[in-house]
Structure 1
């Protein structure tokens, strides 16, 4: 890629000592593995809006749909101060060309889901229904950007889906930079099977949209395609969806594979379907056949390698 992939991240996850107690929560996978392929832009809402390090801890209080940010001991209401900073910060981030954001889980400012919200009376168990003030402002302002928290990224399927989306978005922005119809068609063609693995419904809708592309003004065409693209990729691939794509790929070799080769490939696809082996196993054999039989169309499909192999994202069962 011509330009780096820039990802926003809660600063404490990078090892910066910005937490309320002066510590950090550095994430080894993010900083030692993913950081080899992306550039992180650290953000700490509390420190950046001037609350200092260390500082009094705070929590969300009241209505989970619109909670207040209150310090625990002194009961100081920091809601307006934080919300004002959030609005300013998300507008500043428009210039950073972000391809996604990784939030700190459970944080009253940066948690993207299931943040504790306490009642006004401080009695009873908290509700796990809140969203951190900055995370909410960011997701409202950038509704199409991929977002996750470091806790959810411990799930291999969620991790792969998030990282797939950031790499696709980076490629899309490069393809869309000059708003040429040919670039859009080429991008869509090379991502067809990847889209198919996320959502057959969106894949077919985007196909019809591209077929009618000349009917749309360029600006609307590219904006609407990006919306459809990111909406499709937000649908998580399942084993069943992946098996459908694998069988579709196999169809390209029906005239060249021997009965024994077909049986071997079907066996591997079945083992993946039963979750005995990872997706990487049947894909490795299919990639071999793509090279062996010089299947040009499949060689151009990002489905076969949507992200760097070093990330080992298709090695899980």
Structure 2
């Protein structure tokens, strides 16, 4: 049986009526498309920390010492300490869930990932992070986190889903018992993926893997996981993808006819120029791989990072 992939999701994004006004912010992409592949772990920090529905609106304010979470109409009603205490308890439980990603509600003073309004004495700056999500990012720095609204962007959407499947693959490969051999084997399968996402990190992780004997397995596991997911957070650029495609092309230089080589070069270059989507050269390369199988290439997750039915590479 295929191991389930768990992601945390702001409860309102799943359609639960937990917002301050009794409403929700249901995301069709999350509920309809991701729901076919992931098991959701819903969290509403405000309700779960004891706030009612409906409830007074809250916001972040900046004072001299800290960012505080207070009620909009009465700043003396301060929810900062209770929210932080809840966040630490809830995240401690989530750390035992093997979560592979998290979708948070944008602009929320508890869940927003970026550009959350923080009110000062004279103005509001879109510079904050929701209190709960900030704690989540601090305590689980390897976890792929994205906002519901940003998932409307095809590139951000594809990057998030790629990271989720990557982390799941990592956990699944460890099978509850990390070892140097398992991590080295995993790294081998993700070499082209890492080259596409962040070449510098690919080199740094390669150095780390080469020095595995210098670490305890627990230390190596933690260092590799953070390094891997930090690298994957960088979106694969057209330039980096082109370099990877050309690298793969090199495996067929002796097998293909002259006309086939020319066709493959042209398709890759058309992708580089933005004339064709990434799917075009990938489809042609997979066709040649069927004719001329290569064990190393067939192991590379770059070619199949997630189920095809998600159709995320059509617009890249």
TM-score range, shorter chain: over 0.9
- Secondary structure at the residue paired with 2:102? strand
Match 1:148 to one of 128, 143, 146: 146
Q: Residue 16 of structure 1: CA displacement?
A: 0.3
Partner of 2:102: 101
Counterpart CA distance in 2 for 1:64 and 1:260 is 69
- Report the more deviating stretch, 295-304 or 87-96: 87-96
Instruction: Give distance in 1, aligned partners of 2:178 and 2:90.
Output: 29
For residues 63 and 278 of structure 1, what CA distance do their matches in structure 2 show? Answer: 49
CA distance in 2, matches of 1:310, 1:40: 19
- How far apart are 1:137 and its partner, in Å? 0.9
Alignment of 1:290-309 (within 5 A): 290-309=289-308
CA offsets, 1:158-198, max 9 Å, x none? 11111111111111112223223332222111111111111
Distance (Å, rounded) in 1 between the aligned partners of 2:232 and 2:20 = 36
SS in 2 for 1:252: helix
Residue ranges of structure 1 left out of the alignment (5+ in a row):
none
The question of 1:23 aligning with 2:23 is answered yes
**Mapped contact 2:117–2:125 kept (Cα < 8 A):** yes
Quickly say closer, same or farther: Cα 1:35–1:63, change in 2 above 3 A. Answer: farther
Looking at structure 1, the residues matched to 129 and 268 of structure 2 have their Cα atoms a distance apart, in angstroms, of 40
Report the Cα distance in structure 1 between the residues aligned to 2:141 and 2:49, rounded to whole angstroms: 23
The CA deviation string for residues 81-119 of structure 1, in whole angstroms up to 9 with x for no partner, is 222211222112222211121110000110011001122
1:64: how far off?
10
Alpha-carbon shift at residue 2 of structure 1 (Å): 4.1
Write the deviation string for residues 196-219 of structure 1: whole angstroms up to 9, x where unpaired: 111112212222332332343322
Matched, 1:267 2:259: no
Give the stretch that moved more between structures: 158-167 or 102-111. 158-167
SS of the equivalent of 1:95 reads coil
Contact 1:64–1:130 (CA<8 Å) still a contact in 2?
A: no
Q: When the two structures are superposed, what TM-score results if normalisation uses the length of structure 1?
A: 0.94
Cα offset for 1:224? 2.0
SS in 1 for 2:95: helix
Q: Which residue of 2 aligns with 1:252?
A: 251
Name stretches of at least 5 consecutive residues in structure 2 with no aligned partner: none
In 1, Cα distance between equivalents of 2:257 and 2:157: 37
- Per-residue displacement from partner, 1:49-84 (whole Å, max 9, x unpaired)? 111111111111225993221212233222222222
Q: Write out aligned runs for 1:214-225 (5 A).
A: 214-225=213-224
- Please list the CA deviations of residues 15-56 of structure 1 after superposition, one character each: whole Å capped at 9, or x if unmatched: 000001101010000110011111110100111111111111
Task: Answer yes or no: is the 8 Å Cα contact 1:199–1:233 preserved in 2.
Answer: yes
Aligned residues: 314
Structure 1 residue matching 2:266: 3-state secondary structure: helix
Task: Provide the residue aligned with 2:49 in structure 1.
Answer: 49
Within 2, Cα distance between the matches of 1:71 and 1:135?
A: 19
CA distance in 2, matches of 1:266, 1:144: 37
Please give the residue correspondences for 1:1-317 in structure 2 after superposition, counting only pairs within 5 Å.
Answer: 2-63=2-63, 66-75=66-75, 76-120=77-121, 123-124=122-123, 126-176=124-174, 177-317=176-316
2:302 counterpart SS class? helix
Aligned counterparts of 1:173 and 1:278: Cα–Cα separation in 2 = 31
Q: TM-score, normalized by length of structure 2? A: 0.94
> Aligned partners of 2:64, 2:190: CA distance in 1, in Å?
39
- Residues 292, 63 of structure 1: alpha-carbon distance in 2 compared, 3 angstrom cutoff: farther
For residues 5 and 26 of structure 1, what CA distance do their matches in structure 2 show? Answer: 20
Are 1:115 and 1:132, in contact at CA under 8 Å, matched by a contact in 2?
yes
